Amino acid sequence: EARAALPKRPPVVTIMGHVDHGKTTLLDYLRHSRIAEREAGGITQHVGAFTVETPQGKIVFIDTPGHEAFTTIRERGARVADIAVIVIAADDGIMPQTKEAIAHAKAAGVPMIFAINKIDLPRADVDKVMQDLMKEGFVPEAYGGDAIVVPISAKTGENVDELLDMILLVAEMEDLRADPEAEPRGVILESKRDKQAGVLVTLLVQEGTFRVGDYLVAGDVWGKIRAMIDPDGKQVKEAPPGTAVQVLGFRDLPEAGTAVEWVPDEVAAKHIAEERQEERKAREQEEAER
Ligand code: GTP
Ligand code: NA
Ligand code: MG
């Protein structure tokens, strides 16, 4: 098949699970940074994307919030993922948002890896979580099934290397490839207004290569890429498949989850965006009259 000749791309891994089960701490450990401590109230409220380098290649990680209010963000996170890591605290077990996360991953058809976290705690009960998982229909490999379960401590880093190995193994089986020369497309992970920079958009590139100067459309918003910043804060001129970059240059706030299309020039960009704005207005008018 022609696709087999395409270059491999990094896996996009979404971290999901119940509130405070340790998702952000795990990513912190992986990046050797301390983001969880800086968050307001220690609660993740948005989708953050980071790239982690391993000896076997890059992995793109997407953090999601565990708080029950953020169902849509979890659903979006699952939809863009190649692999979902479901984090379950060993002292707490499977909780409502754990089940919700599993349901989102299932609905999106994304393979799951279960990370039983906080095994450094004296009250950690890994066997109990394994039993919980079996009740949900996932039989761990240790029990003769095929569910991938890795007990870890995001705090001490115990077994985190094993988790990375499992992620890379599943990614390898999925044989993820993308064409860097194809017409670029991606998806908006996050968008916000920054006092200094203006509209700041986190874009996950899924196909092709976005370049500074490119015109793009996301729903009914258009833009011209003024600058791109990689997850390490470095300015980049190009964003190939499997990279998550911050993009400056959107004229308005595109909605998270919206597909991003490349367009050849400003005339086309404006035309598509305006047409969609008209459509939206007509739809809203119709709904208001009903
Ligand atoms: P939300 O984003 O709000 O859903 O939470 P989260 O899943 O990202 O959890 P977070 O990383 O914020 O961690 C919650 C608390 O658990 C923090 O106090 C962490 O220090 C602690 N924690 C996370 N992982 C571990 C671990 O492996 N061991 C121990 N002992 N504590 C942990
Ligand atoms: Na938290
Ligand atoms: Mg978090």
Is the minimum distance from the CB of 153 to ligand 1 under 6 angstroms?
yes
User: Which protein residues have a CB closer than 5 Å to ligand 3 (ion)?
Assistant: 23-24, 44
Q: Determine the pLDDT at residue 45.
A: 54
52: confidence class by pLDDT, cuts 50, 70, 90 = confident
Residue 222's DSSP bridge partners are: 217
Give the model confidence (pLDDT) of 57-92 as tens digits.
889 899 888 888 778 878 888 889 999 999 999 999
**What contacts 247, CB < 8 A, 6 or more positions away?**
200, 201, 202, 203, 210, 223, 225, 227, 228
Mean pLDDT of 107-117: 97
274: confidence class by pLDDT, cuts 50, 70, 90 = very high
The yes-or-no verdict on residue 40 having pLDDT over 80 is no
| Cα–Cα distance list, 97 to 43, 114, 135, 206 (Å) | 14, 14, 16, 28
Percent of the chain predicted with pLDDT > 70: 93
The yes-or-no verdict on residue 44 having pLDDT over 60 is no
Q: Determine the pLDDT at residue 47.
A: 54
The yes-or-no verdict on residue 250 having pLDDT over 70 is yes
Q: Which ligand 1 atom sits closest to the C-alpha of 18?
A: 4
Distance 115 CA to ligand 2 centre (A): 16
* Model ipTM value: 0.99
The average confidence (pLDDT) of the chain is 91
| DSSP letter, residue 244 | E
pTM confidence score: 0.90
The yes-or-no verdict on residue 21 having pLDDT over 90 is yes
Give the model confidence (pLDDT) of 181-211 as tens digits.
999 999 998 889 988 888 999 999 999 999 9
Residue 234 or 219, more confident = 219
Distance 81 CA to ligand 2 centre (A): 21
The yes-or-no verdict on residue 31 having pLDDT over 70 is yes
Q: Which two tokens stand for residue 88?
A: 């379950």
Specify the range with the lowest mean pLDDT, choosing from 1-5, 72-76, 194-198, 277-281. 1-5
Q: Determine the pLDDT at residue 254.
A: 95
Q: Would you mind telling me the total number of residues written for the chain in this entry?
A: 290
| Cα–Cα distance list, 262 to 60, 213, 222 (Å) | 22, 11, 10
Distance 280 CA to ligand 3 centre (A): 34
| Nearest bound ligand to the CA of residue 154 | 1
How large is the angle between the packed helices 160-174 and 23-31, nearest 10 degrees? 90
Instruction: Using only the alpha carbons of the chain, give its radius of gyration.
Output: 20
Distance 168 CA to ligand 2 centre (A): 26
| Nearest bound ligand to the CA of residue 28 | 1
Q: Each residue of 182-221: b (16+ CB within 10 Å) or e?
A: eebbbbbbbbeeeeeeebbbbbbbbbbbbebebbbbbbbb
Q: Determine the pLDDT at residue 34.
A: 52
The alpha carbon of residue 56 and the mean position of all alpha carbons in its chain are separated, in whole angstroms, by: 20
* Separation CA 163–CA 100 (nearest Å): 22
* Separation CA 157–CA 128 (nearest Å): 21
Find, among 141, 142, 143, 94, the residue nearest to 117 by Cα. Answer: 94
Choice from 14, 18, 20 to test ligand 1 binding pocket (greatest atom count within 8 A of CB): 20
176: confidence class by pLDDT, cuts 50, 70, 90 = very high
Specify the range with the lowest mean pLDDT, choosing from 127-136, 191-200, 251-260. 191-200
Which residue is it, tokens 């990370």? 115
Residue 274 or 234, more confident = 274
Q: Determine the pLDDT at residue 3.
A: 67
Mean pLDDT of 141-170: 96
**What contacts 223, CB < 8 A, 6 or more positions away?**
199, 201, 215, 216, 217, 247, 249, 250, 251, 269
| Cα–Cα distance list, 140 to 116, 128, 144, 187 (Å) | 12, 12, 7, 33
234: confidence class by pLDDT, cuts 50, 70, 90 = confident
Q: Determine the pLDDT at residue 184.
A: 97
Burial of 224 (0-12, 13-18, 19+ CB in 10 A): middle
